[in-house]
Amino acid sequence: MMNLRATPKGRAEATVIEATTVHGIGKVTTLVVARGTLRKGAVLVGGTTWCRVRTMTDENGKEMKEAGP
């Protein structure tokens, strides 16, 4: 088993898996946080597009306040 670790301190750095626009909700992104902690209100920047984190849910649909690596 690989011993993968990352620091949860600082700004979040993530890899986008999937991004779509859902009518009535807005931009929806599936991502994996590689470094830092992603919180509500943070700004996501990808290329020339940006958005603010309004809500976060886990794989079961439960709301989260923050997401670490």
Q: Tell me the pLDDT tens digit for each residue of 31-42.
A: 888 888 999 999
- Return d(Cα 44, Cα 38) in angstroms, integer: 9
Each residue's pLDDT tens digit, 9-31: 878 888 889 989 989 888 888 88
Place of tokens 């779509």: 20
- Return d(Cα 69, Cα 57) in angstroms, integer: 15
Q: What pLDDT score was predicted for residue 60?
A: 92
Model pTM? 0.76
CA-closest candidate to residue 68, choices 4, 19, 9? 9
Q: What pLDDT score was predicted for residue 63?
A: 93
Which stretch, 3-7, 25-29, 60-64, has highest mean pLDDT?
Answer: 60-64
First to last CA, the chain: 17
